[in-house]
Structure 1
Amino acid sequence: MQNMKRVFAALALLGVALAASADEAAVRRMMQGKLRDTGTIESVQKAPWGDLYEVIVRGPDGPQILYVDGAASVIIAGQVIEAKSGNNLTEERKRKLTAIKWESLPFEWAITSVRGTGRRKIAVLSDPNCPFCKRFETDLQKLDDITVHILPYAVIRPESVRQSKAVWCSKDRVKAWNDLMFNRVEPQAGTSCDNPIDKLIAFGRKLGANSTPTWFLETGERYTGALPLEDTRKLLDQASPPKR
Protein backbone atom coordinates (compact mmCIF):
# COMPACT_ATOMS: atom_id res chain seq x y z
CA MET A 1 0.00 0.00 0.00
CA GLN A 2 2.82 2.36 0.92
CA ASN A 3 4.55 1.60 -2.38
CA MET A 4 1.36 2.39 -4.31
CA LYS A 5 1.12 5.76 -2.55
CA ARG A 6 4.67 6.52 -3.61
CA VAL A 7 3.87 5.58 -7.22
CA PHE A 8 0.77 7.81 -7.25
CA ALA A 9 2.78 10.68 -5.73
CA ALA A 10 5.50 10.27 -8.35
CA LEU A 11 2.92 10.21 -11.15
CA ALA A 12 1.29 13.35 -9.78
CA LEU A 13 4.62 15.17 -9.70
CA LEU A 14 5.39 13.98 -13.22
CA GLY A 15 2.03 15.30 -14.38
CA VAL A 16 2.77 18.73 -12.91
CA ALA A 17 6.21 18.77 -14.51
CA LEU A 18 4.83 17.75 -17.91
CA ALA A 19 2.09 20.38 -17.68
CA ALA A 20 4.63 23.08 -16.83
CA SER A 21 6.84 21.92 -19.68
CA ALA A 22 3.90 22.01 -22.09
CA ASP A 23 2.97 25.52 -20.91
CA GLU A 24 6.54 26.74 -21.38
CA ALA A 25 6.67 25.24 -24.87
CA ALA A 26 3.37 26.95 -25.75
CA VAL A 27 4.62 30.29 -24.45
CA ARG A 28 7.83 29.88 -26.48
CA ARG A 29 5.85 29.24 -29.68
CA MET A 30 3.55 32.20 -29.12
CA MET A 31 6.40 34.55 -28.23
CA GLN A 32 8.55 33.51 -31.18
CA GLY A 33 5.63 34.32 -33.46
CA LYS A 34 5.37 37.80 -31.94
CA LEU A 35 9.12 38.49 -31.96
CA ARG A 36 9.69 37.25 -35.51
CA ASP A 37 13.16 38.44 -36.54
CA THR A 38 13.80 40.87 -33.66
CA GLY A 39 15.46 38.32 -31.39
CA THR A 40 15.96 34.67 -30.52
CA ILE A 41 14.35 33.09 -27.49
CA GLU A 42 17.00 31.47 -25.31
CA SER A 43 14.80 30.20 -22.51
CA VAL A 44 11.28 30.19 -21.10
CA GLN A 45 10.55 29.31 -17.50
CA LYS A 46 7.96 29.98 -14.84
CA ALA A 47 8.80 33.11 -12.90
CA PRO A 48 9.42 32.45 -9.18
CA TRP A 49 6.66 34.92 -8.28
CA GLY A 50 3.26 35.74 -9.72
CA ASP A 51 1.47 33.90 -12.51
CA LEU A 52 4.00 34.90 -15.17
CA TYR A 53 6.70 33.36 -17.33
CA GLU A 54 10.23 34.70 -17.70
CA VAL A 55 11.35 34.83 -21.34
CA ILE A 56 15.01 35.48 -22.17
CA VAL A 57 15.42 37.01 -25.63
CA ARG A 58 18.85 37.35 -27.21
CA GLY A 59 19.22 40.37 -29.48
CA PRO A 60 22.11 42.45 -30.88
CA ASP A 61 22.45 44.28 -27.53
CA GLY A 62 22.60 41.11 -25.45
CA PRO A 63 19.91 39.35 -23.42
CA GLN A 64 16.61 41.01 -22.60
CA ILE A 65 14.25 39.76 -19.91
CA LEU A 66 10.54 39.82 -20.66
CA TYR A 67 7.64 38.67 -18.51
CA VAL A 68 4.47 37.30 -20.11
CA ASP A 69 1.24 35.65 -19.06
CA GLY A 70 0.39 32.10 -20.09
CA ALA A 71 -1.41 33.26 -23.24
CA ALA A 72 1.38 35.69 -24.19
CA SER A 73 -1.35 38.33 -24.40
CA VAL A 74 0.49 40.66 -22.01
CA ILE A 75 4.23 41.31 -22.38
CA ILE A 76 6.05 43.25 -19.66
CA ALA A 77 9.43 44.76 -20.52
CA GLY A 78 10.55 46.41 -17.31
CA GLN A 79 12.07 46.03 -13.86
CA VAL A 80 10.68 43.83 -11.11
CA ILE A 81 11.40 45.17 -7.62
CA GLU A 82 10.96 43.03 -4.52
CA ALA A 83 8.77 45.12 -2.23
CA LYS A 84 10.21 43.88 1.07
CA SER A 85 13.93 44.23 0.30
CA GLY A 86 13.85 46.81 -2.49
CA ASN A 87 16.11 44.55 -4.56
CA ASN A 88 15.87 44.82 -8.33
CA LEU A 89 15.17 41.19 -9.23
CA THR A 90 15.42 41.84 -12.96
CA GLU A 91 18.90 43.37 -12.65
CA GLU A 92 20.07 40.53 -10.40
CA ARG A 93 18.86 37.99 -12.94
CA LYS A 94 20.45 39.89 -15.82
CA ARG A 95 23.80 40.01 -14.03
CA LYS A 96 23.75 36.23 -13.81
CA LEU A 97 22.86 35.96 -17.50
CA THR A 98 25.62 38.34 -18.60
CA ALA A 99 28.32 37.08 -16.24
CA ILE A 100 31.55 35.99 -17.90
CA LYS A 101 34.66 34.13 -16.85
CA TRP A 102 37.05 36.65 -15.32
CA GLU A 103 40.02 34.97 -16.98
CA SER A 104 38.39 35.41 -20.41
CA LEU A 105 38.91 39.19 -20.29
CA PRO A 106 41.77 40.46 -22.51
CA PHE A 107 44.04 41.74 -19.75
CA GLU A 108 46.91 42.02 -22.22
CA TRP A 109 44.93 44.92 -23.75
CA ALA A 110 44.35 46.63 -20.40
CA ILE A 111 45.97 49.66 -18.78
CA THR A 112 46.57 48.18 -15.35
CA SER A 113 47.39 49.87 -12.06
CA VAL A 114 47.87 48.23 -8.67
CA ARG A 115 47.63 49.87 -5.25
CA GLY A 116 48.51 48.17 -1.99
CA THR A 117 47.99 44.42 -2.06
CA GLY A 118 45.81 44.67 -5.17
CA ARG A 119 43.42 42.06 -3.74
CA ARG A 120 40.28 43.83 -4.97
CA LYS A 121 40.05 43.33 -8.72
CA ILE A 122 37.99 45.19 -11.28
CA ALA A 123 38.01 45.53 -15.08
CA VAL A 124 36.39 48.59 -16.64
CA LEU A 125 35.35 49.26 -20.23
CA SER A 126 35.88 53.02 -20.24
CA ASP A 127 35.76 55.86 -22.77
CA PRO A 128 38.02 58.89 -22.12
CA ASN A 129 35.14 61.25 -22.97
CA CYS A 130 32.58 59.57 -20.72
CA PRO A 131 31.67 61.75 -17.69
CA PHE A 132 30.31 58.78 -15.76
CA CYS A 133 33.57 56.92 -16.39
CA LYS A 134 35.48 59.88 -14.96
CA ARG A 135 33.29 59.90 -11.86
CA PHE A 136 33.60 56.14 -11.41
CA GLU A 137 37.38 56.10 -11.89
CA THR A 138 37.73 59.06 -9.51
CA ASP A 139 36.03 56.94 -6.85
CA LEU A 140 38.24 53.95 -7.63
CA GLN A 141 41.26 56.17 -6.97
CA LYS A 142 40.06 56.47 -3.36
CA LEU A 143 40.25 52.72 -2.72
CA ASP A 144 43.34 50.93 -1.41
CA ASP A 145 44.38 47.34 -2.08
CA ILE A 146 42.92 47.32 -5.58
CA THR A 147 43.92 46.22 -9.07
CA VAL A 148 42.22 48.27 -11.78
CA HIS A 149 42.26 47.05 -15.38
CA ILE A 150 41.12 49.84 -17.72
CA LEU A 151 40.04 48.52 -21.12
CA PRO A 152 39.81 51.60 -23.39
CA TYR A 153 36.42 51.34 -25.08
CA ALA A 154 36.46 54.29 -27.48
CA VAL A 155 32.83 54.51 -28.61
CA ILE A 156 31.43 57.89 -27.52
CA ARG A 157 33.19 60.31 -29.87
CA PRO A 158 35.43 59.92 -32.93
CA GLU A 159 38.32 61.55 -31.05
CA SER A 160 38.07 58.85 -28.37
CA VAL A 161 39.72 56.42 -30.78
CA ARG A 162 42.65 58.74 -31.50
CA GLN A 163 43.09 59.62 -27.83
CA SER A 164 42.97 55.99 -26.68
CA LYS A 165 45.51 54.95 -29.30
CA ALA A 166 47.82 57.80 -28.24
CA VAL A 167 47.51 56.70 -24.60
CA TRP A 168 48.44 53.16 -25.57
CA CYS A 169 51.45 54.42 -27.52
CA SER A 170 52.64 56.48 -24.51
CA LYS A 171 55.64 55.37 -22.48
CA ASP A 172 53.64 55.51 -19.23
CA ARG A 173 50.13 54.40 -20.16
CA VAL A 174 48.66 54.71 -16.66
CA LYS A 175 49.84 58.33 -16.34
CA ALA A 176 48.73 59.20 -19.86
CA TRP A 177 45.26 57.76 -19.27
CA ASN A 178 44.84 59.47 -15.89
CA ASP A 179 46.08 62.81 -17.27
CA LEU A 180 43.54 62.57 -20.08
CA MET A 181 40.65 61.28 -18.00
CA PHE A 182 41.01 63.53 -14.95
CA ASN A 183 42.82 66.63 -16.24
CA ARG A 184 41.98 66.62 -19.98
CA VAL A 185 45.67 66.65 -20.84
CA GLU A 186 46.03 65.25 -24.35
CA PRO A 187 48.61 62.47 -24.75
CA GLN A 188 51.61 63.61 -26.79
CA ALA A 189 52.45 60.23 -28.30
CA GLY A 190 51.49 59.29 -31.83
CA THR A 191 48.90 56.68 -32.78
CA SER A 192 50.85 54.46 -35.16
CA CYS A 193 52.16 51.93 -32.65
CA ASP A 194 50.67 48.45 -32.50
CA ASN A 195 47.59 48.92 -30.30
CA PRO A 196 44.45 46.97 -29.34
CA ILE A 197 41.88 49.81 -29.49
CA ASP A 198 39.97 48.56 -32.55
CA LYS A 199 40.03 45.03 -31.11
CA LEU A 200 38.65 46.32 -27.81
CA ILE A 201 35.78 48.07 -29.59
CA ALA A 202 34.91 44.80 -31.34
CA PHE A 203 35.27 42.91 -28.06
CA GLY A 204 32.93 45.26 -26.20
CA ARG A 205 30.32 45.13 -28.93
CA LYS A 206 30.46 41.35 -28.94
CA LEU A 207 29.74 41.45 -25.20
CA GLY A 208 26.78 43.75 -25.86
CA ALA A 209 28.35 46.60 -23.87
CA ASN A 210 26.17 49.49 -25.02
CA SER A 211 27.05 51.96 -22.27
CA THR A 212 30.10 53.13 -20.36
CA PRO A 213 31.39 52.40 -17.89
CA THR A 214 30.69 48.69 -18.11
CA TRP A 215 32.67 46.86 -15.46
CA PHE A 216 33.35 43.38 -14.20
CA LEU A 217 34.19 41.96 -10.80
CA GLU A 218 36.43 38.97 -10.17
CA THR A 219 33.29 36.81 -9.99
CA GLY A 220 32.57 37.70 -13.63
CA GLU A 221 29.43 39.67 -12.75
CA ARG A 222 28.78 42.70 -14.96
CA TYR A 223 27.65 46.15 -13.86
CA THR A 224 27.04 49.40 -15.70
CA GLY A 225 27.23 53.01 -14.64
CA ALA A 226 28.88 54.78 -11.73
CA LEU A 227 27.58 53.45 -8.43
CA PRO A 228 28.13 55.31 -5.14
CA LEU A 229 31.61 54.64 -3.74
CA GLU A 230 30.42 52.65 -0.73
CA ASP A 231 28.28 50.40 -2.92
CA THR A 232 31.27 49.76 -5.18
CA ARG A 233 33.51 49.06 -2.18
CA LYS A 234 31.00 46.56 -0.80
CA LEU A 235 30.69 44.73 -4.13
CA LEU A 236 34.47 44.57 -4.51
CA ASP A 237 34.91 43.19 -0.99
CA GLN A 238 32.26 40.53 -1.62
CA ALA A 239 33.84 39.50 -4.93
CA SER A 240 37.46 39.65 -3.72
CA PRO A 241 37.41 39.00 0.05
CA PRO A 242 40.61 39.25 2.10
CA LYS A 243 42.58 36.02 2.27
CA ARG A 244 42.81 34.46 5.72
Structure 2
Amino acid sequence: MTVRIKWLPLVLAAALQPAMAGRTEDALLASLRQAHPATRFDRVAPTPVPGLYEVWMGENVAYVRRGHVRYLVFGHLFDTRRMQDVTASRKAGGIARQTPLVVDGSASDGAVDLPTIPVEDAIALVRGTGARRLLVFTDPACAYCRQLDAALRRLRDVTVLHYLLPYQGRQLPEAIWCAQDRDAAYARAMADGAMPAGPAQPCASPLERNLALAARLGVQATPTLVFADGRRIAGALGSDDIEAGLARAAGGIDQADSLARSGHGTHRQ
Protein backbone atom coordinates (compact mmCIF):
# COMPACT_ATOMS: atom_id res chain seq x y z
CA MET A 1 0.00 0.00 0.00
CA THR A 2 2.84 2.39 0.79
CA VAL A 3 4.44 1.78 -2.61
CA ARG A 4 1.17 2.58 -4.38
CA ILE A 5 0.78 5.84 -2.46
CA LYS A 6 4.32 6.92 -3.40
CA TRP A 7 3.66 6.30 -7.11
CA LEU A 8 0.21 7.94 -7.13
CA PRO A 9 1.45 11.57 -7.49
CA LEU A 10 3.63 10.57 -10.45
CA VAL A 11 0.74 8.82 -12.18
CA LEU A 12 -1.53 11.82 -11.64
CA ALA A 13 1.14 14.22 -12.94
CA ALA A 14 1.60 12.16 -16.10
CA ALA A 15 -2.15 12.10 -16.69
CA LEU A 16 -2.47 15.85 -16.20
CA GLN A 17 0.43 16.85 -18.48
CA PRO A 18 -1.53 16.91 -21.79
CA ALA A 19 -4.35 18.95 -20.22
CA MET A 20 -1.87 21.40 -18.71
CA ALA A 21 -0.10 21.77 -22.07
CA GLY A 22 -3.41 22.44 -23.77
CA ARG A 23 -4.27 25.13 -21.23
CA THR A 24 -0.87 26.76 -21.77
CA GLU A 25 -1.42 26.96 -25.54
CA ASP A 26 -4.98 28.26 -25.11
CA ALA A 27 -3.79 30.92 -22.67
CA LEU A 28 -0.99 31.97 -25.02
CA LEU A 29 -3.44 32.19 -27.91
CA ALA A 30 -5.75 34.40 -25.83
CA SER A 31 -2.82 36.64 -24.86
CA LEU A 32 -1.78 37.03 -28.50
CA ARG A 33 -5.29 37.96 -29.56
CA GLN A 34 -5.51 40.52 -26.78
CA ALA A 35 -2.10 42.02 -27.57
CA HIS A 36 -2.67 42.14 -31.36
CA PRO A 37 -6.42 42.56 -31.94
CA ALA A 38 -5.97 43.44 -35.62
CA THR A 39 -4.26 40.12 -36.40
CA ARG A 40 -6.09 36.84 -36.90
CA PHE A 41 -4.43 34.11 -34.85
CA ASP A 42 -5.74 30.61 -35.59
CA ARG A 43 -3.89 28.48 -33.10
CA VAL A 44 -0.75 27.90 -31.07
CA ALA A 45 1.26 24.66 -31.03
CA PRO A 46 4.42 23.56 -29.21
CA THR A 47 7.75 23.13 -31.00
CA PRO A 48 10.63 20.75 -30.23
CA VAL A 49 12.32 23.70 -28.46
CA PRO A 50 11.12 24.00 -24.84
CA GLY A 51 9.31 27.27 -24.22
CA LEU A 52 9.01 28.11 -27.94
CA TYR A 53 5.60 27.93 -29.64
CA GLU A 54 4.33 28.05 -33.23
CA VAL A 55 1.73 30.70 -33.95
CA TRP A 56 -0.43 29.97 -37.01
CA MET A 57 -2.04 32.83 -38.95
CA GLY A 58 -3.67 31.18 -41.94
CA GLU A 59 -0.78 29.61 -43.88
CA ASN A 60 1.77 31.87 -42.17
CA VAL A 61 3.68 30.74 -39.11
CA ALA A 62 5.67 32.70 -36.54
CA TYR A 63 7.33 31.77 -33.26
CA VAL A 64 6.76 33.19 -29.80
CA ARG A 65 7.98 32.59 -26.26
CA ARG A 66 5.47 32.20 -23.47
CA GLY A 67 5.05 35.50 -21.66
CA HIS A 68 6.62 37.51 -24.50
CA VAL A 69 3.70 38.04 -26.90
CA ARG A 70 4.98 41.44 -27.94
CA TYR A 71 7.67 39.82 -30.09
CA LEU A 72 7.02 37.39 -32.95
CA VAL A 73 9.84 35.75 -34.87
CA PHE A 74 9.20 34.94 -38.54
CA GLY A 75 11.33 32.40 -40.37
CA HIS A 76 12.07 28.67 -40.43
CA LEU A 77 12.97 26.43 -37.51
CA PHE A 78 15.75 24.10 -38.67
CA ASP A 79 16.91 20.88 -36.99
CA THR A 80 20.67 20.80 -37.61
CA ARG A 81 21.09 17.25 -36.32
CA ARG A 82 18.52 15.74 -38.68
CA MET A 83 19.16 18.41 -41.37
CA GLN A 84 15.40 19.01 -41.56
CA ASP A 85 13.43 22.18 -42.10
CA VAL A 86 10.91 21.71 -39.29
CA THR A 87 8.70 24.61 -40.40
CA ALA A 88 8.39 23.39 -43.97
CA SER A 89 7.71 19.87 -42.78
CA ARG A 90 4.91 21.05 -40.48
CA LYS A 91 3.31 23.01 -43.31
CA ALA A 92 3.47 20.02 -45.66
CA GLY A 93 2.15 17.58 -43.08
CA GLY A 94 -1.26 19.18 -42.82
CA ILE A 95 -0.64 20.79 -39.43
CA ALA A 96 -1.93 24.03 -40.95
CA ARG A 97 -4.69 23.70 -43.55
CA GLN A 98 -3.43 25.69 -46.46
CA THR A 99 -5.46 27.64 -49.01
CA PRO A 100 -4.90 27.43 -52.76
CA LEU A 101 -2.42 29.88 -54.20
CA VAL A 102 -4.34 32.64 -55.98
CA VAL A 103 -3.07 34.10 -59.24
CA ASP A 104 -5.12 36.71 -61.08
CA GLY A 105 -6.01 35.71 -64.62
CA SER A 106 -5.08 32.02 -64.29
CA ALA A 107 -7.73 29.39 -63.81
CA SER A 108 -11.36 30.42 -63.62
CA ASP A 109 -11.51 29.61 -59.90
CA GLY A 110 -8.40 31.67 -59.13
CA ALA A 111 -6.09 28.69 -58.43
CA VAL A 112 -2.87 28.16 -60.34
CA ASP A 113 -3.52 26.49 -63.69
CA LEU A 114 -0.37 24.37 -64.00
CA PRO A 115 -0.94 23.27 -67.62
CA THR A 116 -0.64 26.92 -68.72
CA ILE A 117 2.81 27.38 -67.16
CA PRO A 118 5.54 27.04 -69.83
CA VAL A 119 7.44 23.78 -69.56
CA GLU A 120 10.09 24.85 -72.06
CA ASP A 121 11.64 27.16 -69.45
CA ALA A 122 12.13 24.33 -66.96
CA ILE A 123 14.55 21.45 -66.49
CA ALA A 124 12.35 18.36 -66.25
CA LEU A 125 13.04 15.37 -64.02
CA VAL A 126 10.81 12.40 -64.88
CA ARG A 127 10.59 9.48 -62.45
CA GLY A 128 8.69 6.32 -63.34
CA THR A 129 5.49 7.07 -65.23
CA GLY A 130 5.82 10.81 -64.58
CA ALA A 131 2.05 10.95 -64.02
CA ARG A 132 2.11 13.39 -61.10
CA ARG A 133 3.32 16.94 -61.60
CA LEU A 134 5.29 19.28 -59.37
CA LEU A 135 6.86 22.70 -59.95
CA VAL A 136 10.03 23.64 -58.09
CA PHE A 137 11.60 27.10 -58.08
CA THR A 138 15.25 26.52 -57.33
CA ASP A 139 18.69 28.10 -57.32
CA PRO A 140 21.61 25.69 -57.89
CA ALA A 141 23.76 27.86 -55.60
CA CYS A 142 21.28 27.36 -52.74
CA ALA A 143 22.26 24.70 -50.19
CA TYR A 144 18.64 23.99 -49.22
CA CYS A 145 17.80 23.52 -52.89
CA ARG A 146 20.49 20.86 -53.18
CA GLN A 147 19.10 19.16 -50.08
CA LEU A 148 15.62 19.18 -51.61
CA ASP A 149 16.93 17.78 -54.91
CA ALA A 150 18.09 14.60 -53.18
CA ALA A 151 14.55 14.09 -51.84
CA LEU A 152 12.97 14.79 -55.23
CA ARG A 153 15.08 12.11 -56.89
CA ARG A 154 13.66 9.51 -54.48
CA LEU A 155 10.08 10.12 -55.63
CA ARG A 156 8.13 7.73 -57.84
CA ASP A 157 5.90 8.40 -60.86
CA VAL A 158 6.38 12.16 -60.90
CA THR A 159 7.44 14.88 -63.30
CA VAL A 160 9.33 17.66 -61.54
CA LEU A 161 9.74 20.92 -63.46
CA HIS A 162 12.70 22.91 -62.12
CA TYR A 163 12.63 26.67 -62.80
CA LEU A 164 16.07 28.18 -62.23
CA LEU A 165 16.19 31.49 -60.35
CA PRO A 166 19.41 33.56 -60.09
CA TYR A 167 18.86 34.73 -56.51
CA GLN A 168 22.51 33.99 -55.65
CA GLY A 169 24.03 34.97 -58.98
CA ARG A 170 23.50 34.27 -62.66
CA GLN A 171 26.75 32.49 -63.53
CA LEU A 172 25.88 28.98 -62.32
CA PRO A 173 22.24 28.80 -63.53
CA GLU A 174 23.17 30.25 -66.91
CA ALA A 175 26.08 27.80 -67.27
CA ILE A 176 23.75 24.90 -66.44
CA TRP A 177 21.09 26.03 -68.90
CA CYS A 178 23.62 26.52 -71.70
CA ALA A 179 25.53 23.27 -71.08
CA GLN A 180 25.59 20.67 -73.84
CA ASP A 181 23.93 18.15 -71.52
CA ARG A 182 21.64 20.36 -69.44
CA ASP A 183 20.13 17.56 -67.35
CA ALA A 184 23.54 16.12 -66.43
CA ALA A 185 24.93 19.57 -65.63
CA TYR A 186 21.98 20.30 -63.35
CA ALA A 187 22.24 16.92 -61.58
CA ARG A 188 25.97 17.43 -60.97
CA ALA A 189 25.51 20.97 -59.69
CA MET A 190 22.79 19.84 -57.30
CA ALA A 191 25.00 17.02 -56.06
CA ASP A 192 28.13 19.04 -55.31
CA GLY A 193 27.62 22.63 -56.45
CA ALA A 194 30.07 22.22 -59.33
CA MET A 195 30.08 24.32 -62.47
CA PRO A 196 29.46 22.39 -65.71
CA ALA A 197 32.61 20.96 -67.27
CA GLY A 198 33.88 22.51 -70.49
CA PRO A 199 33.52 26.00 -71.89
CA ALA A 200 30.15 27.68 -71.59
CA GLN A 201 28.19 27.90 -74.82
CA PRO A 202 26.40 31.23 -75.42
CA CYS A 203 22.65 30.75 -75.38
CA ALA A 204 19.43 32.52 -74.45
CA SER A 205 18.42 31.55 -70.92
CA PRO A 206 14.90 31.78 -69.46
CA LEU A 207 16.07 33.37 -66.19
CA GLU A 208 14.21 36.64 -66.72
CA ARG A 209 11.01 34.80 -67.63
CA ASN A 210 11.45 32.57 -64.59
CA LEU A 211 11.84 35.63 -62.37
CA ALA A 212 8.65 37.09 -63.85
CA LEU A 213 6.81 33.79 -63.30
CA ALA A 214 8.04 33.61 -59.71
CA ALA A 215 6.84 37.15 -59.08
CA ARG A 216 3.43 36.33 -60.59
CA LEU A 217 3.09 33.32 -58.28
CA GLY A 218 4.36 35.19 -55.23
CA VAL A 219 7.52 33.07 -54.91
CA GLN A 220 10.16 34.92 -52.86
CA ALA A 221 12.42 32.11 -51.64
CA THR A 222 14.23 29.07 -52.94
CA PRO A 223 13.38 26.30 -52.88
CA THR A 224 9.62 26.71 -53.31
CA LEU A 225 7.36 23.85 -54.40
CA VAL A 226 4.03 24.38 -56.18
CA PHE A 227 1.72 21.35 -56.23
CA ALA A 228 -0.89 20.53 -58.84
CA ASP A 229 -3.73 21.89 -56.68
CA GLY A 230 -1.97 25.27 -56.48
CA ARG A 231 -0.63 24.90 -52.94
CA ARG A 232 2.80 26.41 -52.44
CA ILE A 233 5.37 25.46 -49.80
CA ALA A 234 8.80 27.03 -49.34
CA GLY A 235 11.59 24.98 -47.81
CA ALA A 236 13.63 21.81 -48.15
CA LEU A 237 10.97 19.16 -47.59
CA GLY A 238 11.73 15.49 -47.09
CA SER A 239 10.51 12.93 -49.62
CA ASP A 240 7.65 11.77 -47.38
CA ASP A 241 6.41 15.32 -46.90
CA ILE A 242 6.50 15.82 -50.67
CA GLU A 243 4.58 12.57 -51.15
CA ALA A 244 1.97 13.88 -48.70
CA GLY A 245 1.67 17.08 -50.72
CA LEU A 246 1.33 15.12 -53.97
CA ALA A 247 -1.36 12.91 -52.44
CA ARG A 248 -3.27 15.94 -51.18
CA ALA A 249 -3.02 17.55 -54.61
CA ALA A 250 -4.55 14.41 -56.12
CA GLY A 251 -7.43 14.57 -53.66
CA GLY A 252 -6.15 11.96 -51.23
CA ILE A 253 -6.33 14.04 -48.03
CA ASP A 254 -6.51 11.03 -45.71
CA GLN A 255 -3.54 9.39 -47.44
CA ALA A 256 -1.57 12.62 -47.23
CA ASP A 257 -2.20 13.01 -43.51
CA SER A 258 -1.30 9.36 -42.93
CA LEU A 259 2.00 9.80 -44.78
CA ALA A 260 2.75 12.97 -42.85
CA ARG A 261 2.24 11.22 -39.51
CA SER A 262 4.16 8.06 -40.42
CA GLY A 263 7.65 9.54 -39.98
CA HIS A 264 9.14 7.41 -42.84
CA GLY A 265 11.15 8.31 -45.14
CA THR A 266 16.66 30.66 -48.44
CA HIS A 267 14.99 33.63 -48.85
CA ARG A 268 15.78 35.99 -51.73
CA GLN A 269 18.53 38.39 -50.82
Given the two structures, how large is their TM-score scaled by the length of structure 1?
0.60
The equivalent position to 2:238 in structure 1, one of 228, 240, 243, is 228
Distance of 1:81 and 1:227 partners within structure 2: 23
Are 1:100 and 2:62 an aligned pair?
A: no
Change (3 A) 1:173 1:241: farther
Residue 205 of structure 2 corresponds to 195
Match of 2:180 in 1: 171
Report the equivalent of 1:181.
190
In the TM superposition, what is the alpha-carbon distance from 1:113 to its structure 2 partner? 1.7
Structure 2: tracts of 5 or more residues without a match: 1-31, 46-53, 60-95, 103-110, 253-269
Find out whether 1:238 has 2:200 as its counterpart: no
Tell me which amino acid in the other structure corresponds to 2:213: F
Report the Cα distance in structure 1 between the residues aligned to 2:153 and 2:251, rounded to whole angstroms: 19
Matched, 1:80 2:42: yes
Q: Deviations over 1:97-147 (max 9, x none)?
A: 434111232211000021111122111000111121111111111112111
User: 1:81 touches 1:88 (CA, 8 Å); kept in 2?
Assistant: yes
2:139 to 101, 110, 127: 127
In 1, the alpha carbon distance for the partners of 2:150 and 2:176 equals 18
Q: What is the CA–CA distance in structure 1 between the aligned matches of 2:124 and 2:101, rounded to whole Å? A: 27
Structure 1 residues 159-216: Cα deviation after superposition (integer angstroms, max 9, x where no partner): xx12111111112211111111112221135262022112212221232211111111
Alignment of 1:44-83 (within 5 A): 74-76=37-39, 80-81=42-43
Residue 225 (structure 1) shift:
0.9
The letter for the 2-side match of 1:220 is: G
Q: How many residues align?
A: 167
Instruction: Verify the 8 A CA contact 2:101 2:232 in the aligned structure 1.
Output: no
Give the Cα separation in 2 of the matches to 1:205 and 1:191: 28
Identity of aligned residues (%): 30
What RMSD in Å do the two structures reach over aligned CA positions?
A: 2.9
Equivalent residue number for residue 162 of structure 1: 171
Q: 1:58-105, CA deviations, whole angstroms, 9 ceiling, x for partnerless residues?
A: xxxxxxxxx999xxx83227x52377xx99561167632434111232
- Where does residue 24 of structure 2 map in the other structure? none
Alpha-carbon distance in 1 for matches of 2:132, 2:221: 23
Letter in 1 for 2:211: I
Which residue, 199, 207, 214 being the options, matches 1:204?
214
Q: Which stretches in structure 1 are left out of the alignment for 5+ residues? A: 1-66
* Structure 2: distance between partners of 1:127 and 1:116: 25
TM-score of the superposition, structure 2-length normalised? 0.55
Residue in 1 that maps onto 2:58: 90
